[in-house]
Amino acid sequence: MSVRIERMRHMDVQPRAIDPVEHAHLRDATGFSPPVHRFAPGPGMADLVRRYWMPVWSLPDGAVSRQRVLQYPVCLVVVADSYARVVGVSTGLSVKELSGTGWALGAMLQPAAGELVLRRPVTEVTDGFVELAEAPGVDGTGLTERVRAEVGDAPGDPHRRLAAVVGMEAELSRLLPVDDEGRLVNAIVEYVEGDPDVRRVRQVCAKFDIAERTLQRLLARRLGLHPKWLIQRRRLQEAAARLRTGPGDLARVAAELGYADQAHFTRDFRTVTGLTPGDYAAEPHPT
CATH number at residue 220: 1.10.10.60
Coil/strand/helix, residue 89: coil
CA gap 257, 243 in Å, rounded: 12
Same domain, 215 and 161: no
**Residue 185, φ and ψ in degrees, nearest 5:** -60, -45
CA gap 85, 107 in Å, rounded: 11
- Identify the pLDDT of residue 283: 86
In a domain, 228, yes or no: yes
Return the half-sphere exposure (C-beta side, CA atoms, 13 A cut-off) of residue 38: 12
In a domain, 165, yes or no: yes
Same domain, 144 and 39: yes
In a domain, 138, yes or no: yes
- Identify the pLDDT of residue 17: 66
For 73-114, write each residue's pLDDT tens digit.
999 999 999 999 999 999 999 999 999 999 999 999 999 999
Rounded to 10 degrees, the C-alpha dihedral 114/177/135/5 comes to -110
Same domain, 120 and 28: yes
**Residue 179, φ and ψ in degrees, nearest 5:** -70, 165
Same domain, 255 and 135: no
- Identify the pLDDT of residue 65: 93
Strand ranges (E), the chain: 16-18, 25-27, 36-40, 49-58, 64-69, 76-80, 84-87, 94-99, 101-109, 129-131
Boundary residue ending a domain (148, 175, 202): 175
Q: Which residues of the chain have pLDDT under 70?
A: 1-14, 16-23, 286-287
CA gap 23, 237 in Å, rounded: 6
Same domain, 152 and 251: no
Same domain, 70 and 12: yes
Same domain, 147 and 28: yes
CA gap 264, 246 in Å, rounded: 19
Same domain, 62 and 137: yes
Boundary residue ending a domain (175, 193, 208): 175
β-pair partners for 69: 25, 94
- Identify the pLDDT of residue 15: 72
Same domain, 30 and 163: yes
Same domain, 158 and 238: no
- Identify the pLDDT of residue 3: 46
From residue 83, how far is each of 75, 89, 132, 259 by CA, in Å? Answer: 16, 18, 9, 40
Domain hosting 217: range is 180-282
Boundary residue ending a domain (175, 201, 222): 175
Same domain, 185 and 139: no
Provide CB contacts within 8 A for 95, sequence distance 6+.
66, 67, 68, 69
The number of angstroms, rounded, from the C-alpha of 160 to the middle of its chain's C-alpha atoms is 22
Same domain, 253 and 275: yes
Give me the number of domains the chain comprises. 2
In a domain, 287, yes or no: no
Reported pTM: 0.89
- Identify the pLDDT of residue 287: 59
| Spatial contact of 233 and 226, defined as CB atoms under 8 Å apart | no
